[in-house]
């Protein structure tokens, strides 16, 4: 199996930005697993499927053809849904979809298949704990709540900081308290709080871990 760099952490911690930078730096493929759950949520909403309909959501997850391409392009069953999956309401729906164990199981299979032929930087909520528990490089990327709200304000200027704080707190609660694959730090993951750090500083900190755990021949 190829190398996998697993990055987990809460919303707004900077996972996507750093994962993309690392992938570019190392020549790996960047995988945003959150986009996969958003794709399922988008498909469900389009089909009028309730977000509590576990059976039908599982069927969508099993049937979905999801492609994650360069420049954050997301294709669902051949359609470019890159913009649609990043709408705020889809992100909120995805958090509910992601709490369903059978949906997660279906997408974990797809995520593991991606690592069979290429090295990945994969970010999400359970990459180091469930998807790739044997990965040599595991990072738990965090940031202070106020910093996470500030970052999301730049991405979603249409929402007030107060509303974003509420949204992030609700997402944290769902992610950390769901029965299936809750957001936790893997015992062997390196904890990194990105508050006050530049993107370059976070990138270099993670690269030090990569060099220590992979470059010396200790592959996954």
Examine the domain organization and report whether 144 and 201 are in the same domain: yes
Q: What is the pLDDT of residue 1?
A: 52
**How wide is the angle at C-alpha 139 spanned by C-alphas 137 and 130, nearest 5°?**
80
Q: What is the pLDDT of residue 59?
A: 98
Examine the domain organization and report whether 148 and 107 are in the same domain: no
Examine the domain organization and report whether 129 and 200 are in the same domain: yes
Examine the domain organization and report whether 6 and 75 are in the same domain: no
Examine the domain organization and report whether 84 and 170 are in the same domain: no
Q: What is the pLDDT of residue 215?
A: 64
Examine the domain organization and report whether 154 and 211 are in the same domain: yes
Tally of residues, the chain: 220
Kindly give the residue spans of alpha helices, DSSP state H, lying in the chain: 15-26, 33-47, 54-63, 88-97, 101-114, 145-155, 161-177, 199-210
Examine the domain organization and report whether 48 and 18 are in the same domain: no
Residue ranges in the chain modelled with pLDDT below 50: 217-220
Q: Which of 93, 117, 141 is the last residue of a domain?
A: 117
Examine the domain organization and report whether 124 and 217 are in the same domain: yes
Q: Provide the domain limits for residue 145.
A: 1-28+118-220
Q: What is the pLDDT of residue 88?
A: 84
Examine the domain organization and report whether 75 and 6 are in the same domain: no
Q: What is the pLDDT of residue 81?
A: 97
Tell me if residue 41 falls in helix, strand or coil. helix
**Could you please report the per-residue DSSP string of 72-128?**
TEEEETTEE-TTGGGSHHHHHHHHHHTT-HHHHHHHHHHHHHHTTSS-EEEEESSII
The CATH number covering residue 145 comes to 3.40.50.300
Q: Which of 78, 98, 117 is the last residue of a domain?
A: 117
Q: Which long-range contacts (C-beta less than 8 Å, at least 24 apart) are formed by 177-180?
A: 178/98, 178/99, 179/99, 179/101, 180/99, 180/100, 180/101, 180/104
Q: Which of 81, 101, 117 is the last residue of a domain?
A: 117
Examine the domain organization and report whether 107 and 168 are in the same domain: no
Domain count, the chain: 2
């Amino acid at each position: 199996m190829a190398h996998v760099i697993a990055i987990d952490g809460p919303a707004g911690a900077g996972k996507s930005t750093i994962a993309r930078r690392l992938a570019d730096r190392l020549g790996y493929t960047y995988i945003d697993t959150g986009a996969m759950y958003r794709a399922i949520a988008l498909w469900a909403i389009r089909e009028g499927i309730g977000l509590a309909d576990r059976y039908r959501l599982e069927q969508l997850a099993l049937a979905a053809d999801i492609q994650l391409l360069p420049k954050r392009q997301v294709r669902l069953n051949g359609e470019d849904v890159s913009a649609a999956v990043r709408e705020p309401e889809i992100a909120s729906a995805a958090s509910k979809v992601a709490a369903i164990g059978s949906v997660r199981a279906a997408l974990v299979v797809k995520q593991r298949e991606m690592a069979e032929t290429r090295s990945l930087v994969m970010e999400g909520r359970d990459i180091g704990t469930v998807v790739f528990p044997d990965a040599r490089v595991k990072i738990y990327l965090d940031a202070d709540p106020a910093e996470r709200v500030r970052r999301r304000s730049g991405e979603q200027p249409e929402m007030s900081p107060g509303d974003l704080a509420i949204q992030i707190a609700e997402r944290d609660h769902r992610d950390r308290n769901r029965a299936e694959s809750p957001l936790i730090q893997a015992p062997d993951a390196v904890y990194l709080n990105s508050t006050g750090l530049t993107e370059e500083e976070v990138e270099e900190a993670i690269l030090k871990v990569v060099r220590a755990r992979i470059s010396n021949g200790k592959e996954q």
